[in-house]
């Protein structure tokens, strides 16, 4: 009986560990991902050399902020509407947007198919939080 208890305990610890490690993103990996997939359009400040100008700069950080705050950037019509309606890039909205931009916002100018792997998404989120 004691042995079963121990085995169960070990299994639980392993499960808990596996679950937490698959959801907590790695900012370093996220930065690499962003350098490859986002930086041709966005700039991220000193951390990534490549500085895209097609999209709004994300240098000042974006997680938890109001959408559409980059002055002089010409946002698309649906984005302008969302801004007017008070869209905030909290983690839930950002996750859904980045997973499939066109599904989250029909007609957005962000021509990016989306971050398909949950693991990459968690890493990118950790990186965006570090800005």
Among 31, 62, 122, 126, binds ligand HEC (CB under 6 A): 62
Closest CA to 21 of 122, 131, 94: 122
Does residue 60 interact with ligand HEC by CB under 6 A?
Answer: no
Among 31, 48, 56, 123, binds ligand HEC (CB under 6 A): 56
Question: Which residues have a Cβ under 8 Å from the Cβ of 100 and sit 6 or more positions away?
Answer: 113, 114
Q: Give residues 69-128 in contact with ligand HEC (rule: CB under 6 A).
A: 69-70, 75-76, 79, 89, 98, 108-112, 115, 124
End-to-end CA distance of the chain: 51
Minimal distance, residue 21 CB to ligand HEC, in Å: 22
Minimal distance, residue 10 CB to ligand HEC, in Å: 38
Q: How far apart are CA 53 and CA 64, in angstroms?
A: 22
Among 25, 31, 41, 123, binds ligand HEC (CB under 6 A): 41
Q: How far apart are CA 127 and CA 131, in angstroms?
A: 7
Question: Which residues have a Cβ under 8 Å from the Cβ of 9 and sit 6 or more positions away?
Answer: none
Binding region for ligand HEC (CB under 6 A): 34, 37-38, 40-42, 54-56, 58, 62, 67-70, 75-76, 79, 89, 98, 108-112, 115, 124
């Amino acid at each position: 009986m004691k042995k079963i208890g121990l085995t169960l305990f070990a299994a639980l610890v392993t499960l808990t560990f596996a679950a937490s490690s698959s959801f907590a993103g790695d900012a370093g990996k996220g930065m690499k991902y962003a350098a490859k997939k986002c930086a041709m359009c966005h700039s991220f400040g000193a951390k990534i050399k490549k500085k895209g100008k097609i999209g709004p700069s994300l240098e000042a950080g974006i997680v938890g902020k109001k959408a559409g705050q980059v002055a002089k950037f010409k946002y698309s019509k649906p984005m302008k509407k969302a801004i007017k309606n008070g869209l905030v890039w909290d983690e839930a909205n950002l996750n859904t947007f980045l997973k499939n931009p066109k599904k989250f916002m029909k007609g957005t100018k962000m021509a990016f198919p989306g971050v398909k792997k949950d693991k990459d998404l968690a890493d990118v989120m950790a990186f965006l939080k570090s800005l």
